[in-house]
Amino acid sequence: MPSVNRESVATTSNGALRRLDGVIQAFPPAAFSFVMATGILSTGLWLVGHRASSVVLMWIAVASGVLLSIALVWRAISHRSKLMADANNPAKAFGFFTIVAGADVMGLRLEIAGMPAALLVLAGIAAVVWVALTYGVPASMLLRDRSTPILHDANGSWFLWVVGTQSIANALAVIARNSHHDLAAVGATAAWGIGLVLYLLVSTLVTLRMLTLPNRPETLSPTYWIFMGATAITVLAGANVLSMPDDLAIAISTHTFVAGASFVLWALGMWWIPLLVLFGIWRHVVCHYPMSYETGLWAIVFPLGMMSAASISFGRGESIAVMVGIGEVGVWIAAAAWIATVALMLACFIRWLRAGSGPVPAGAEGDA
């Protein structure tokens, strides 16, 4: 009898491992968007004085970042061909920039919590990944034979290139502020400028795709909210660049431009929000596209949280009270979006547990 029980346990264990391996196979490149969304919401709650809930979310983001890192390594070892297929797919490859942004967002939050060493470590990891992706992804897109134009694959996830770049600017600016290091200050300002130009480039390409090719409910995914999220993180990076010591040469020479451009991008990001809401109404109300969990939903939560944190930080730094007020209200909108998305994610997980077979429920892996 004991041997029969051992065999039953072993069979159950093997079945569970196979199911988990199926999840790893379908692991989306943009999975770290959960870390980004949770980390920036934690920062936003800290800025409005809700310290206890902020700390809880901080540790949720840290734990999820560790688990997702393990899953990514597992996939790289066991399913390298699938990982490389995603890396060579222009519609998905930019999702890997969530690794960069997730690391930097968490590093910045841990620095607020009094752990500056964590920022240095995570910023270093993010910088290495950013260099690999910022040259590897475009090179793969441009130098490989293709049967269709690259523009066909353009989508909102392309803005993650901007988000990842501006997350580097944020991290370097805080490091420069803490260390009074001129090289870090120059790097922060340079990264901010690169991210700004990349936003102009990517927004042109994605807008051309939307204007010249048919828009269908399945293609008009939540990732288009990163249209706004990329402006928001640029504003936050601008706020951090402006907070660097005033006697640094780069701060003196660029202060006016950074402040003006950051405010313009804040206004553009706010302008985007009603249009993005209309996209969602068209997708789910007019076209009756089902609302279910997908990784792309975190591309709504993150921009809302980032715009809130950016509005508060920039508004306080430049003494613009209306921006601070909008940011403080926005934190609670982002919190509601986070709770709703977590509820959909848990419902998806419960359905997967009950299914007893298959990797993930339909739609759970998202499009990026």
- Tell me the pLDDT band of 220, cut-offs 50, 70 and 90: confident
Average pLDDT, the chain: 91
Residues 47 and 326: their CA atoms lie apart, in Å, by 13
Tokens of 132: 């690999």
Distance of CA 362 to the CA centre of its chain: 22
Handedness of CA 84, 87, 90, 92 (dihedral sign): positive
CB of 289 within 8 A of CB of 283? yes
pLDDT in tens, 92-145: 999 999 999 999 999 999 999 999 999 999 999 999 999 999 999 999 988 888
The CA-atom distances, in angstroms, between 329 and each of 51, 117, 182, 233, 343 are 16, 32, 36, 18, 22
CB of 342 within 8 A of CB of 38? no
pLDDT at residue 353 greater than cutoff 50: yes
Tokens of 129: 């990944």
Tally of residues, the chain: 368
pLDDT at residue 357 greater than cutoff 80: no
Handedness of CA 193, 221, 56, 51 (dihedral sign): positive
pLDDT in the model for residue 148:
82
Tokens of 19: 């199911």
Kindly report the pTM of this predicted structure. Answer: 0.91
Name the least confident of 3-17, 195-209, 288-302: 3-17
The Cβ of residue 109 has, within 10 Å, a number of other Cβ atoms equal to: 26
pLDDT at residue 356 greater than cutoff 80: no
